Structure 1
Amino acid sequence: MDGKGRYILILIVISSLFITVGFPKIVLWMSWEGEDWFEKVADSFEKNTGVEVEVVYVPNIWKKLSMSLRGGGDLPDVCLVKNENLESIERYIDLPSLDELGLDKRSFHENILKAFTVDGKVKAVPFYADVQIAYLNVDVFKKLGMNLPNDSWNFEEFVEILKKIKQKDEGITPTTMGLFSPYFFFGLQAGIGSGVSSDGVKVDTEENVKLIELLKKLHDEGLIMNITKKRPIMVKMFIKKELAILPHGSFLIRKFEEKKVNFTIRVLPKPWKGVVDPKGFVVFKNDENVRKFISFLLSNSEDFMDDYRKIPALKNVKLKNKYMSTLLKAVENGVVQPSSVEFEEYWDVMGSTLELAITGKMDPMEALKMAQSYIEGGR
């Protein structure tokens, strides 16, 4: 074979290797906010390292991921998930720990870090969190001639404020809440009721009966409007200055800013605990390129946290967000959505339980005992 023939043969071999092996590539599945930011960071990482990152936006990321896990389908190298999905993922695959990914646990906020802990090991890379807070409509309070509460307010003061709002203007809704929502009740139960711990949940307690009776009373008196699963209505009322106080997730901050609403935020009135909703990266392919990419994402996350008003899991992220000190307090005082089979059952059953009890269709303790039986049956 002459020199030209050997050269052509070498080219064919090299080409076939690239076809078989391919260029280095990382596949990232993500959801919720920030697709443009992820694309931008992926492009920057490729320019710096030569490693391509394919960012795939998945609207219902847990549905797609769980189907792949159950059916043996293709998995991404990295996937952004809620902490509540972590234990379910671990049923199918042993995820690398934070230590195995070469990251220092001390760099992360403890309350977010522990949300991704399974059997004593941190099994995801914490990225950010949202948290329940109280939005106060400043224009409504000004119109009513009322002072804004401070972050040290308690639930009794909260109720008195609701009463004053109703007395001053029947046309303004004091507050709204998803009274049949496990998402709301979980934080109320953790602070005002009882039975929430890292070991599990117990709902059939006298404290929880009293909590349900209190919520029913406040609803019947017109102090709380119940708008379960109708977030757009609550948001629209707040924007139109028809609603004074809106307890909800911190992800709404950006929307209210865009709508130029005159608002401020507070930690939920004590002892009500805001539910912390953390997101983090699970790693299905623990190699050097993936570890570098994760570190690159974290080190370039300031813009994401600022733009989307997120609470960074990393301690050293410097932000211009004026709400951050309040959000961090809310996380410190909050309660994390646990990751366990038992709590999956809790989310499934508590909506109907609360509806039966608060509407008076079933005795509260009877409804809670029914829920407890369902929860324990799922263990």
Structure 2
Amino acid sequence: MKSLKTRSSILAMTAIMVLLTSACGKAETTTSGSTTESKPATSTAAADVKKPTEPVKVIWWHSMSGELGKAVDKLVADFNGSQKNVQVEAVFQGTYDESINKMKASMDTKSGPSLIQVYEIGSRFMIDSKAITPVQKFVDADKFDLSQLEENILNYYKVDGKLNSMPFNTSNPILYYNKDMFKAAGLDPEKPPTTYEEIANASKALSKDGKSGSSFAIYGWFMEQFFANQGVEFLNNGNGRTAAATEALVNNDAGVKTLTWWKEMVDSKTSANLGRKTDDTKKAFLAGQIAMTLDSTASLRGIVSGAEGKFQVGTGPLPKPSDAKEGGVVVGGASLYILNNKSEAEQQGAWEFIKFLTNPQTQAWWNVNTGYFPITKKAYDEQIIKDNLTKYPQFQTAIDQLHKTKANTATQGAVMGVFPEARQIVETAIEEALTGKKAPKEALDNAAKSITEKIGAYNKTVK
């Protein structure tokens, strides 16, 4: 009996020593390929996930297809290869709309993801769904320094001072113009128009030989941006941020002024109406049929490459009226939400992956390979971004525009639970005005009424 007790004591002491030894280990994150080494703050995946015998599995639903999908797979492979405690599985779920609808269907089951990419206009729904653990919880617990990230990107995803999700793919719209057509029209190719009035005058000078001076796709996102750039809110109650929005303001002076300016150019045949598809307008621009257009910063590399050998591409900031208030752009794109119906270990694992995505090296690689903004300020110190800016100097316009944006409720962006529907309603109003079916004020009055009704119906469903 005595030897048995002695042996038990030895085993117990050995177990304690093993635990103490493992607790002293440090996790080091290293990304492969284009992404260089990074060492996030001591990984809480090691401490909080408690070294399971099997790695914690995090299912990530995303909507990145094609080349963007390949970039996502690379990020996941780099993270998974950097440590052994958390393994992320990326699953493409179709468009943003398709993905969020699948999430809604899975909310009462365990079949959904641990982490999901949701477009910015789904933000209010995600908060109201009560299905998320706000990222702020992990930020606070980990003492994660948010000041290292871009304020004007974080602002969109903050409601009541709390960060609900982590920005992932971020863009905003800029003006693209054909420098060769500017030269031929006697315009300064190094001085893009920046106001509504200058755009109208340039469009007139550029419209000749069967070509149009400009064309802007009928895209609701552009109207939202035009509001923000005038420092004007799109919804009441501080754009739905000081309290839940109850009324759409799309028919205010900023909206009517914008749509009237747009319609006058179309009516005078100095701007072409090519419909709702941004790809159609982009193709016309690359074919040299139009001299100016609006498009996402994420399209920059594709546009510059597409014009190579044909003409030089210039970029300018989003235009606004000459008498506009101080404003800026609203970020577009999507962010990452952690779902609360998963275990603490899975949620913590998702947070570890999010932290990996925010390191400067990862963000630099993401920017160069996708065109989306880096959300981490120090990413601009990485050589690959410096080299990319040398190759695509046009991207500096996008960076400057983001950094010059004045932070307020207008540029934070509107939040409402029916945003996808509202955007479609606004596009219908723009279409009605540009085609002459309704005057700009009438079209926007009808749109505002319809959106307000939908907001009211939605608000009744939210407890």
Q: Which residue of the partner structure matches residue 376 of structure 2? A: 314
Are 2:63 and 2:99, in contact at CA under 8 Å, matched by a contact in 1? no
Displacement of 1:151: 6.3
Distance 1:133 1:330 in 2: 8
User: Is 1:139 the counterpart of 2:171 in the alignment?
Assistant: no
Residue type at the aligned position of 1:295? K
The aligned length equals 356
Mapping of residues 212-251 of structure 1, within 5 Å: 212-251=259-298
Distance 2:405 2:231 in 1: 16
Are 2:317 and 2:397, in contact at CA under 8 Å, matched by a contact in 1? yes
Q: Which residue of the partner structure matches residue 296 of structure 1? A: 356
User: Is 1:59 the counterpart of 2:94 in the alignment?
Assistant: yes
Residue type at the aligned position of 1:235? K
Change (3 A) 1:65 1:205: closer
Residue type at the aligned position of 1:315? K
Q: Which residue of the partner structure matches residue 12 of structure 1? A: none
Displacement of 1:336: 5.1
- 3-state SS, counterpart of residue 177 of structure 1: coil
Residue type at the aligned position of 2:422? Y
Q: Which residue of the partner structure matches residue 432 of structure 2? A: 356
Deviations 1:262-292 (Å, cap 9, x if unpaired)? Answer: 2121112234855530321111255433222
Distance 2:418 2:73 in 1: 36
Mapping of residues 1-379 of structure 1, within 5 Å: 23-32=55-64, 34-50=68-84, 51-71=86-106, 72-73=108-109, 74-102=111-139, 103-148=144-189, 150=191, 153-166=194-207, 169-178=208-217, 180-191=218-229, 195-196=233-234, 197-199=238-240, 200=245, 201-261=248-308, 262-271=312-321, 274-284=329-339, 285=342, 287-299=347-359, 300-318=362-380, 319-320=385-386, 321-322=388-389, 323-331=394-402, 332-333=404-405, 335=411, 337-341=413-417, 343-378=419-454, 379=456
Distance 1:192 1:229 in 2: 23
Displacement of 1:175: 0.6
Change (3 A) 1:225 1:193: farther
Residue type at the aligned position of 2:126? I
Residue type at the aligned position of 1:109? E
Displacement of 1:345: 4.7
- 3-state SS, counterpart of residue 278 of structure 1: strand
Q: Which residue of the partner structure matches residue 4 of structure 1? A: none
Residue type at the aligned position of 2:213? P
Residue type at the aligned position of 2:211? I
Root-mean-square deviation (Å): 2.7
Displacement of 1:202: 0.9
Are 1:133 and 1:267, in contact at CA under 8 Å, matched by a contact in 2? yes
Change (3 A) 1:234 1:152: closer
Deviates more, 1:216-225 or 1:133-142: 133-142
Q: Which residue of the partner structure matches residue 15 of structure 1? A: none
Displacement of 1:52: 2.4
Distance 2:443 2:163 in 1: 36
Distance 1:278 1:230 in 2: 17
Q: What is the identity percentage for the equivalent residue pairs of Structure 1 and Structure 2?
A: 22
Change (3 A) 1:336 1:358: farther
Deviates more, 1:322-331 or 1:306-315: 322-331
Greater fraction strand: 1
Distance 2:262 2:193 in 1: 22
- 3-state SS, counterpart of residue 310 of structure 1: coil
Distance 1:220 1:352 in 2: 18
Distance 1:376 1:154 in 2: 30
Distance 2:216 2:103 in 1: 36
The two structures have a TM-score, normalised by structure 2, of: 0.69
- 3-state SS, counterpart of residue 351 of structure 1: helix
Are 1:133 and 1:274, in contact at CA under 8 Å, matched by a contact in 2? no
Change (3 A) 1:339 1:210: closer
The two structures have a TM-score, normalised by structure 1, of: 0.83
Structure 1 stretches lacking a partner, 5+ long: 1-20
Residue type at the aligned position of 1:294? I
Distance 1:126 1:194 in 2: 23
Displacement of 1:374: 1.5
Displacement of 1:375: 1.8
Are 2:63 and 2:92, in contact at CA under 8 Å, matched by a contact in 1? yes
Deviations 1:164-199 (Å, cap 9, x if unpaired)? Answer: 112xx3332211112x43222222344469552524
Change (3 A) 1:28 1:140: same
Are 2:135 and 2:338, in contact at CA under 8 Å, matched by a contact in 1? no
Change (3 A) 1:259 1:182: closer
* Runs of 4+ more than 6 Å apart: none
